[in-house]
Amino acid sequence: MPCGRGHVHPVGATGLARRPAPERNGNAPVCGARGQFQKKGRAGLLILGIDPGLELLGYGAVRVEGRKLRPHAYGVLSTDGGQRPETRLLELYRSLRRLVEDLAPDEAAVERLYFGRNATSAMAVGEARGIVLLTLAEFGIPVHAYAPGEVKAAVTGYGRAPKGQVQEMVRRLLGLTAPPQPDDAADALAVAVAHAHRLATRFRAVGGTGR
């Protein structure tokens, strides 16, 4: 069974770096994205944002350092559209498991399913979202869900902001030189940023102060 293509954009690198995941114990290859990630034990909370999808799953990791947000890694995981649905879901699970192992996030934020899309697409996204929740639960990572409008409101202040405005605000907030690409990765970064803002709001509500 072929591996899914993992596209990683480590911060500071140019272009999208692709590297196949190694085989584990002689079994089938563990699919997923590999990159130059920082190691666990660092200062600051690491939030993994995920935009679920079966064809393309976007991910974006953001580190919270006081009142500042730092981009850590972002990209997409993909599956082979020529494979059977159950095979693609297994492929996605293996890819995501490897990614979570590499990043070791403290918390995760996942976009809620948007029912405005067609039924077939919504079903595929729902199945992929189930794989996401399963994988995160397996690693004991706290999961927080956000509707698309909540993400837009947290990032731009307007719950119906166009995609381009959201991407530009993500670029500014994370200090990127250009809006993140592809769109699925940008959406995932926006989810991570939205969760970081929610955490900051809760912290201030209980009398905390940032540095």
Residue 122 CB neighbours (<10 A): 14
Active-site residue identified among 91, 111, 168, 187:
111
Closest CA to 88 of 181, 184, 183, 5: 5
The conformation of residue 23, written as its DSSP 8-state character, comes to: B
Closest CA to 6 of 100, 84, 75, 91: 75
Kindly state the tokens that stand for 141: 């990572």
138 is catalytic: no
The residues with which 146 forms a beta bridge, in sequence order, are 111
Active-site residue identified among 51, 91, 102, 187:
51
184 is catalytic: yes
CA distances from 174 to 13, 16, 38, 56, 168 (A): 15, 18, 17, 23, 10
The residues with which 63 forms a beta bridge, in sequence order, are 46, 70
CA angle 123, 124, 125 (to 5 degrees): 90
Reading phi first (left if > 0) and then psi (alpha if -120 to 50, else beta), residue 64 is in beta
Active-site residue identified among 91, 102, 107, 184:
184
80 is catalytic: no
| CA 31 – CA 9 distance, rounded (Å) | 17
Which sequence positions are flagged as catalytic? 51, 111, 184
